[in-house]
A = this chain, B = another copy of it.
Amino acid sequence: MADRPPAVVLLSGGVDSAVALAIAHHEGFACHCLSVDYGQRHRAELDAAGKVAASLGAAEHRVLRIDLGALGGSALTDPAIPVPEMPSRGIPVTYVPARNTVLLSLALAWAEVLGAADLFIGANAVDYSGYPDCRPEYLHAFEEMANLSTKAAIEGRRLTLHRPLVYLTKSEIIRRGSDLGVAFNITVSCYQATGDGRACGRCDACRLRRLGFEAARIPDPTRYGV
């Protein structure tokens, strides 16, 4: 691993970020994986993230805690707001205000400490839930901002925000991950996952994941049953 340049990879424990990690590793980076315990109800994804990092040869995996639930405003952090089990119009209540901006900011901070010029995020704007902070124009603006924000940037070391999945369909993401040896059975996508990672099969995250495996013609290893 000694000659691999460092990259920070945001890792949620779901399908997309696992594939982003597999791609980063495949491209030759030493992957420093960051998960954030932001008060999400599906905490099983944090355990999954640790397993995914280990299984894909990550250099390191850290979990930072920040209680976004204290600010409220999302079904993912507020137990009083139910997770919808039908696709909704507009931006769903599972949207966590400014989540990707907070996650990317923390990844940026760590990248600067590590001297890493590369960040990876598994954001996707095709088979997604309509979250504003998954869109290509947002990710581009974050990269521009990041390149004005840091000591490294001032000193001329440009930072790249890799978003390798942004234009792929879910089935393309799953096929790419399968080719790279991602063990999807250890990933957790469900917003209502049980402590041991079983999925409800009904929320938007489950729906997108299930349709992705079907379209990719790859057996769905998800353990259902909430």
Kindly list chain B residues whose C-beta atoms are within 8 Å of the C-beta of A72: 113
Which listed residue (B132, B138, B153) contacts A132, Cβ 8 A? B153
Interface centre among A106, A141, A145 (most CB of B within 10 A): A145
Secondary structure type dominating chain A contacts: helix
- The number of chain A residues with a CB under 8 A from chain B is 43
Kindly list chain B residues whose C-beta atoms are within 8 Å of the C-beta of A73: 109, 112-113
Q: Are A99 and B109 in contact (CB under 8 A)?
A: yes
* A100 at the binding interface (Cβ < 8 Å): yes
Interface centre among A70, A71, A101, A146 (most CB of B within 10 A): A101
Kindly list chain B residues whose C-beta atoms are within 8 Å of the C-beta of A109: 68, 71, 73, 96-99, 101-102
* A108 at the binding interface (Cβ < 8 Å): yes
User: Which residues on A are within 8 Å of B, measured CB to CB?
Assistant: 62, 64-68, 70-73, 91, 95-102, 104-106, 108-110, 112-113, 132-133, 135, 137-138, 141-142, 144-146, 148-151, 153-154
